[in-house]
Amino acid sequence: MAEDLDDLGWKELWAPWLYGVLLVHRKALKPSTIRAVQSQIEKKEPICIFPEGTSIGAQIKPPKNGVAYFSARNNIPIIPVALSGTDQIPKKLKTLQRPKVSVEFGSPIYPKGTGKEETEALTKKIMEALKQMLPSHYH
């Protein structure tokens, strides 16, 4: 997912496209993007959405309701995935050191309704699960 697709050149865009990654311009979200994600879900393709709406930066950011929206709309579970150590990759690679990256999978979280309150509660539950899996310096 790209913070702003206008800042990306063709070199950064072709590889994700080749692997079926849907790049989202979050500052100008279009209905076609929502339809494309829904289509992926209907085809039973795996979906990875960062609940904060971005993967940039090491700290947890305020969440958005997109993950919960698609989960509730389709009655599908969310598998929280906590990534840590990725913020060290550029620095470590410059010194030819191998960065220590951790990927932890949490227990499935199931939606309990499609209303606004249920979606917001599900988003909160997702973020709580991620906070429990991440080291404290990411909070």
Pair 86, 129 in one domain: yes
Asked if 131 and 111 sit in the same domain, the reply is yes
58 and 79 share a domain? yes
Tens digit of pLDDT for each residue in 8-39?
Answer: 676 667 777 777 777 777 677 788 888 988 99
Q: Domain check: are 58 and 105 in the same one?
A: yes
At 107 the pLDDT is 97
Work out the burial of residue 114: count CB atoms within 10 Å of its CB; fewer than 13 is exposed, 13-18 middle, 19 or more buried: middle
Q: What is the pLDDT at residue 122? A: 97
Do both 84 and 62 map to the same domain? yes
Confidence of residue 4 (pLDDT cuts 50, 70, 90): very low
* Three-state DSSP string of 39-61: HHHHCCCCCCCCCCCCCCCCCCC
- Kindly state whether residues 66 and 30 are assigned to the same domain: no
- Least confident interval from 19-33, 71-85, 114-128: 19-33
Say if residue 64 is in the same domain as residue 39. Answer: no
pLDDT averaged over the chain?
86
For 2-119, strand residue ranges (E) read 81-84, 102-105
% the chain with pLDDT above 90: 50
Give how many domains the chain has, as a whole number.
Answer: 2
> Does residue 78 sit in the same domain as residue 66?
yes
What angle, rounded to 10 degrees, do the helices at 66-74 and 116-133 form? 120
Q: What is the dihedral of CA 6, 81, 131, 25, to 10 degrees?
A: 10
Find the domain containing 24 and state its range: 1-47
Q: What is the mean pLDDT of residues 50-72?
A: 85
- Whether the Cβ atoms of residue 133 and residue 104 lie closer than 8 Å to each other: yes
Q: How many CB atoms lie within 10 A of CB 1?
A: 17
Mean pLDDT, rounded, for 52-70: 84
Report the percent of the chain where pLDDT is more than 70. 88
pLDDT-derived band at 57, boundaries 50, 70, 90: confident
Q: Are residues 12 and 35 in the same domain?
A: yes
The model's confidence at residue 89, banded by pLDDT at 50, 70 and 90, is: confident
State whether residue 82 is helix, strand or coil: strand
For 110, the token pair is 């199931």
Q: Report the alpha-carbon distance of residue 118 to residue 134 in Å, rounded.
A: 24
Higher per-residue confidence, 111 vs 27: 111
